[in-house]
Structure 1
Amino acid sequence: MKKSELTHLKSWFADYVSGYYTADSEYNRAIRLKEEHTKRVCNNIVMLGKSLNISEQELLLAETTALLHDIGRFKQYAVYGTFNDMNSKNHARLGLQQIGMHKILNVFSKYEKRLVAKAVAYHNAAVLPKAEDENTLFFIRLLRDADKLDIWKVFIDYYNEREKNPNPIIELGLADEPICSPQVLQTLKKCKTVRINDLKTLNDFKLLLTGWAFDLNFVPSFQTLQSHKYLEQLASTLPQSKEVKEAVKQALDHVIKCSGNFNKEINNESSNCFAGHSRNLVPFTDVYPA
């Protein structure tokens, strides 16, 4: 892949997204949210890739997956007026349809096209594909980490400003009640990611975001999460009950453990985390869409 191809793709992306803006400022707010998110995920994946010492060619390919990972979001919102996949269509599938319709990967090699398509398809999947080569899995995991790092930022920024500027678009229709569902708390205490079907309140969703720590893949991702204190900031918006504190502590302890300097403990199955440079390692935790 050439740098000029990525430059051309970025230009196409900007033109494509501009076609979704209207005279409705509230509608545009949703479109802008995803456009800006995409740009930050691109920055995140380059940062992670450099930290993992991948090649320039691999960096270009990684950034391409980030640029296109949410391309289906714009069509999703235009048609369904929501970013909730359960109330519309899977935005990854919509993205693949847009990629195919606009033939934007035609100049890429067969391998590159397949890898980008797989990354887009699985960036929000409940489980990773079993029959897949390790190189493709590496790029899928890298994208999922880059995506999560920005989603944490987006929601923390939103919760900090929610009283002044509420946005129902990103609240997924969940009830704003001062409770956390027992099933959600139990899942976190088991060091597992929360399933979307178990969500009943906004606090449940915050716990889902907290549990994403169990689905990170690389040491630089954990280190970035820790340095920005995203989980601590999320925790400050939750009810301060003993049960909530215990559940959040599981995630915080996991992040601390997996933020170390590539020691033996981090790549040991008993540590319940997958973190390192190697693209041949397999995560030992359950996964949930990013």
Structure 2
Amino acid sequence: MSNAVSLPDLAPLRDWFSSYCNSFRSTDLELQRNFDLKEEHTRNVCRDALLIAHGMGARFEMLAEVAALCHDLGRFPQFRDYHTFKDSESLNHAHLSAQVMNQHHLLDFLPAEERGCIEVAVRVHNAFLVPEGLPALTADLLRLLRDADKLDIWRVFIEYFNAPEDERASGAGLGFPDLPGCSAEPLAAVAAGRMVQLATLKSLNDFKLLQVSWIYDINFPATLRLIRQRSVLEQFRTMLPQDREVLDVVAQVERYLDAKLRDSAD
């Protein structure tokens, strides 16, 4: 009964995460830069998950933080073993994150139903679309985790693009070549109001368009407000080629964001 009334202390889980990150410490500067990137990303996703979950109940906020803390555990062994964050060239990092979480019994302090919700949220947070037919709590946690993840991936990528080349975390660009222009397929997807598929990308500029298209997949009004506050689209607009076709699709996404913000304010 007390489990429903009092919230578990997450300090041991946060401490475990710090120890887990430290266990990957490397004298190889390139490796360590990418590990640091993922540690900072995870902490920021925890922060943003709590910002989005605010007002949705203390228990839900706690579960959102647990899911956020565990969502990218697989990124560390992935980069250590494969030197890439590109799942198609290594393994599914979300599945590995769930595996690490279970190996270390990280969720044993939660009731079975909540453990199951978090496991699904972590395991499929990187899916192209949210699977249908999920229980309500699982679906809410998954959508929130996806929103919080996107918010910080945008920050990571904007910082990557603006950093001097020798200071960039190599994994952040997923190995795409820095070519001029944008490809037809990603442009067409954004113009049609759809998310861009990773398999259609040919360049770093296409990867930027893919991230712009994520706006179509945002679930919570609080996330929309944070996108506006952090000038996400404005920053991507300046990083993309200044071609009319590219600027037109970015303007379309900006109008979509404006409309969603208006709807959520009504």
Return the TM-score normalized by structure 2. Answer: 0.94
| Matched letter for residue 244 of structure 2 | K
Q: Could you tell me whether the CA contact under 8 Å between 2:78 and 2:91 is conserved in 1?
A: yes
User: What is aligned with 1:10?
Assistant: 14
| Matched letter for residue 46 of structure 1 | L
Output the CA distance in 2 between the equivalents of 1:244 and 1:82: 28
| Matched letter for residue 156 of structure 1 | I
User: What is aligned with 2:40?
Assistant: 36
Structure 2 residues not aligned, in runs of 5+: none
Question: 1:68 aligned to 59, 67, 70, which one?
Answer: 70
Matched, 1:173 2:182: no
User: What is aligned with 1:255?
Assistant: 257
Give SS of 1:260's match. helix
1:134-173 per-residue CA deviation (whole Å, 9 max, x = no partner) reads 2210111011101101111111111112446344322222
Q: Could you tell me whether the CA contact under 8 Å between 1:188 and 1:194 is conserved in 2?
A: yes
User: What is aligned with 1:83?
Assistant: 85
Deviation at 1:178, TM superposition (A): 0.8
User: What is aligned with 1:144?
Assistant: 146
Deviation at 1:107, TM superposition (A): 2.2
| Matched letter for residue 37 of structure 1 | H
Matches within 5 A, 1:46-57: 46-50=50-54, 53-57=55-59
1:68-96 per-residue CA deviation (whole Å, 9 max, x = no partner) reads 01011111111111111010000001111
Give the RMSD, CA atoms, in angstroms. Answer: 1.5
User: What is aligned with 2:102?
Assistant: 100
Matched, 1:219 2:221: yes
Q: Could you tell me whether the CA contact under 8 Å between 1:46 and 1:62 is conserved in 2?
A: yes
Output the CA distance in 2 between the equivalents of 1:99 and 1:56: 23
Deviation at 1:124, TM superposition (A): 0.6
Higher helix share: 2
Matches within 5 A, 1:176-187: 176-187=178-189
1:49-84 per-residue CA deviation (whole Å, 9 max, x = no partner) reads 11xx11111111110000001011111111111111
Distance change in 2, residues 1:163/1:26 (3 Å): closer
User: What is aligned with 1:288?
Assistant: none
Structure 1 residues not aligned, in runs of 5+: 265-290
Deviation at 1:261, TM superposition (A): 5.9
Matches within 5 A, 1:107-126: 107-126=109-128
Matches within 5 A, 1:230-245: 230-245=232-247
| Matched letter for residue 38 of structure 1 | T
User: What is aligned with 1:200?
Assistant: 202
| Matched letter for residue 220 of structure 1 | A
Output the CA distance in 2 between the equivalents of 1:61 and 1:182: 41
Deviation at 1:28, TM superposition (A): 0.6
Return the TM-score normalized by structure 1. Answer: 0.87
Output the CA distance in 2 between the equivalents of 1:216 and 1:13: 27
Q: Could you tell me whether the CA contact under 8 Å between 1:66 and 1:143 is conserved in 2?
A: yes
Deviation at 1:7, TM superposition (A): 1.3
Deviation at 1:240, TM superposition (A): 0.8
Q: Could you tell me whether the CA contact under 8 Å between 2:157 and 2:173 is conserved in 1?
A: no
Output the CA distance in 2 between the equivalents of 1:257 and 1:28: 42
User: What is aligned with 1:267?
Assistant: none
Q: Could you tell me whether the CA contact under 8 Å between 1:220 and 1:259 is conserved in 2?
A: no
Of 22-31 and 200-209, the range deviating more from structure 2: 22-31
Output the CA distance in 2 between the equivalents of 1:262 and 1:174: 36
Output the CA distance in 2 between the equivalents of 1:201 and 1:138: 33
Output the CA distance in 2 between the equivalents of 1:256 and 1:227: 12
Identical counterparts, % of pairs: 37
Aligned residues: 262
